[in-house]
Chains A and B, each alone.
Chain A
C-alpha cells in the first residue's frame, strides 16, 4: 500500500483524474465496488471522500450507498495513514502468548494508542484480529511484512524501524 504524508491531500483536478483511472481499471468486473475502493486506497493511501461521488456516478449507485460501503469495512481509511503502518494481532491465539503486553509496550514506546498516528506522521498503530500466524504468536504486520514470536527485542527493532 502506498502511504502519504498526513494533510497532503491530492489537488481536486488531480483527484478526479486519478479516481477516474482507478474506476476505469476495474469497471468491467462483476461487482466492482470493493476492487475500486481497494484501488483508491492503493492510489491515495486512503479513500478520499471526494472520490465517492465520482465512483457512485460511474457505478450508477447512490452516494449514500458508496459511503455506506466505504465506511462499513475496517480496511478503508478516511484519512491518510502514517508512513509506516504497524498492525498488532490481538486475537485469542496471540492473547494466550501475551499480545496485550506487547501492545502495552508498543503503545508506550510510540506514545499512541490503537487507531492513532504519531504526531510526526511516522507510524499508524492498529489492532488486527488474526494474521493466521497463530502457531508463532504473538504476531504483527509492519508495512505488509509479517513478524512472528514477538519479544522485547523484536519490539525494540520494530520501534526503531518505524521511527525512521
Chain B
C-alpha cells in the first residue's frame, strides 16, 4: 500500500522551511525506492511545531515536528513510513494538548485534507451544508443562520443572519456576496489559514449566502500580502467550476452562483467594508458614510452581503449540523466557536478554535504557555492595531464580545499579540497613532489629522515636555477621534492608545533620556 506523507504548504510552514522539507522527503522516497506519496496540506495551526510532517498509518496519523530538511534522512532511518520512534515524534497530532483542547468546527479540515481535492473535502463532510441549503428555502437558510447566533467574525460582531435577511428582502435583480479577506490586523491569520488550508469551505459558504439572498455573483477581496492564499483560492475556484459547484446550476440545482478573486493593493483601510467596496469598484479605498447600508446599496449600488472569511466559512457547518448545534457553544450573546490566534512573543503560537468564554489568562498562559522569551508577560493586544492593550490584571476577562467591550477593549478578529516585560507602552501607543496616520484614507479630519497630532504629542510626552498637559491633550484627541471619525480606523485607534496610558502609566512618566530618545 502506498504510504502517504502529509506536509503543510501553509505560508507559516513555508516561512519555516516546509518546501525544503518536502524536497528532502521527495529525495529520500526516490533514493530509497519507497512506495510513498506526498500530500501538501494546510496547517493544523501549531506554529511552534511547524514544519510538522504527518504520516498516515493503519492506526491513524503520526506527526513529527518541527522538522528541518537536515532531519529528514534520520526520520526515514528511524522507519518514518512505519511510524518508528524518533526524537521529533509527536505521536497522534490530534492528541497534542493544544489541539485536543480545541473545538474545531470551522477549521475541521484545515491541516488534514488536501486543500485542492474536492473528493477529500467531501469525504471529510464538505458540501453537506450546501446540499441541505439547496433542499430548503432561502428564508429557512437565513433563519438557520440567524438562529445560530453567528456574528461577524471580522470584528464588528454584527449578526450575520440579519445582514443576509436585509439583502434577501431587496428586490433588485443583481446582488452580490463580497467576502472581506483583507485580513490586515497584526496577530491575525485565521483567514489566511482557511483560504490556504480549506478554500472550498469558503466557496461553499459563499454559495450558500448566494442561494439564501438571491445573489449570483461573489467576490473574495484578498490582500496582496497573501500571495499563497490568492493562489489557493484561484485554484480552488477553478476546481469548483469544473465540478459544477460554481456556475449556472450549482450542484445541478436551478441556482446560479460564480465568484472571483480580487487582489487588494496594500491599503489597511480597505478592510473596512465600505472602503473595500470602493476598492472593488476601482476607486480610491475611501470610506463611505452609512447609510445607505451596503445591504441595501453596496457594490455598484446593488444590495450586497459583505462578510468576513471566517463568518462565511462557518456557515457550512451551521447548515449541516443545525443552528442549535452551533449555538450550543459559547456564552452570552457570543455563540459558537471563534478561531483565536495566539501570536507575537508567545511560546505556543498558533490558531486555537474554541467556544467563546475562555478567559484571556487561560488563552495566554495555559494555551499559549506565556512569553517565548520566558520573561513575564507585560501586555497583550487583542483585536489588532485598533485593539486595546490588556495587562495581566485583566486576564480574567472572558473571550466574549460584550465582556471585552465592558473593559474598553474589543476582540476584533480574535488575534492576540503577546508582549513581554521589555515592551515600552509609550512606543506602542505612538505606533498606534503612527499606523493610523500612515493608513488613514483621509476622508475625515479626526482620523487624518488627529493621528498625526497624536504622534507629535506622544513624542512630547516621551521627551518630558509638559507631560501632564500633553497627556490631557492626547486624551482629548482620542475622544475626538473616537466620536468624530467615520470608521473604525480613526474611531478605534484610541483603544490601544488610551489602554496603554491607563494601564501602564509608569511608561508615560518621567524616563531616562536614553529610552525617551529611541
Contacts and interface: CB of A to CB of B under 8 A. Distances in A.
Contacts of B14: 145-146
Contact of A133 (B189, B260, B266, B351): B189
Contacts of B12: 132-133, 135-136, 146, 148
Contacts of A72: 267, 284-286, 441
B102 to A, nearest CB: 15
A93 B300 contact: no
Given A92-B187, A130-B185, A137-B343, A73 B50 contact: no
A97 B372 contact: yes
B268 interface: yes
Given A74-B265, A131-B225, A34 B279 contact: yes
Nearest to B186: A91
Contacts, number: 156
Contacts of A139: 15
A137 B183 contact: no
Given A33-B282, A69-B283, A96-B344, A130 B266 contact: no
B357 interface: no
Contact of A129 (B186, B265, B300, B345): B186
A35 B265 CA distance: 10
Interface in A7-65: 29-35, 37-38, 59, 65
Nearest to B342: A135
A144 interface: yes
Contacts of B267: 72-74
Q: Indicate the size class of the contact surface on chain A.
A: 35 or more
A132 B266 contact: no
A134 B285 contact: no
Contacts of B264: 73, 75
A106 interface: no
Nearest to A128: B225
Interface in B360-396: 372, 381, 384-385
A91 B281 CA distance: 28
B343 A134 contact: yes
B192 A132 contact: yes
A48 to B, nearest CB: 16
Interface in B270-302: 279-286, 300
B11 interface: yes
Interface stretch (B109-117, B416-424, B502-510): B416-424
B42 interface: no
B161 interface: no
B349 A30 contact: no
A96 B417 contact: yes
A139 B415 CA distance: 17
A101 to B, nearest CB: 11
A97 B345 contact: yes
Contacts of A76: 265
Most buried by B among A93, A135, A149: A135
B188 interface: yes
A134 B15 contact: no
A134 B263 contact: no
Nearest to A76: B265
Nearest to A135: B349
B262 A135 contact: no
Contact of A32 (B48, B282, B372, B384): B282
A96 B189 contact: no
Contacts of A131: 11, 225-226
Nearest to A141: B225
Interface string B240-275: 000000000000000000001011111110000000
B265 A75 contact: yes
B259 to A, nearest CB: 12
B417 A92 contact: yes
Given A135-B189, A136-B349, A96 B419 contact: yes
A136 B15 CA distance: 8
A147 B284 CA distance: 31
B93 interface: no
Contacts of A146: 11-12, 14-15, 228
Interface in B165-201: 183-189, 191-192
Nearest to B17: A148
Contacts of B187: 92-93, 134
A93 B285 contact: no
B266 A74 contact: yes
Contacts of A102: none
B423 A129 contact: no
B14 to A, nearest CB: 5
Interface in A119-164: 128-137, 139, 141, 144-149
A148 B385 CA distance: 20
Contacts of B372: 97
B16 A134 contact: no
B89 interface: no
A31 B280 contact: yes
Contacts of A59: 282
Nearest to A32: B282
A68 B284 CA distance: 7
A78 to B, nearest CB: 13
A125 B416 CA distance: 28
Contact of B344 (A30, A33, A92, A145): A92
A95 B341 CA distance: 16
A130 B225 contact: yes
Nearest to B229: A132
A90 to B, nearest CB: 9
Given A134-B344, A135-B341, A34 B349 contact: no
User: Which 7 A-B residue pairings sit nearest by Cβ, starting from the closest?
Assistant: A33-B282, A135-B349, A148-B15, A73-B265, A91-B186, A134-B343, A74-B266
26 contacts: A31-B281, A31-B300, A33-B282, A34-B262, A34-B280, A35-B262, A37-B265, A38-B224, A38-B265, A69-B282, A72-B284, A73-B285, A92-B344, A94-B344, A96-B419, A129-B439, A130-B188, A132-B183, A134-B344, A134-B415, A135-B189, A135-B342, A136-B50, A137-B343, A144-B227, A146-B14
Given A34-B262, A74-B267, A133-B189, 17 more contacts: A31-B281, A31-B300, A35-B262, A59-B282, A73-B266, A91-B385, A92-B381, A92-B428, A95-B344, A128-B266, A133-B12, A133-B15, A134-B415, A135-B343, A135-B351, A139-B15, A147-B15
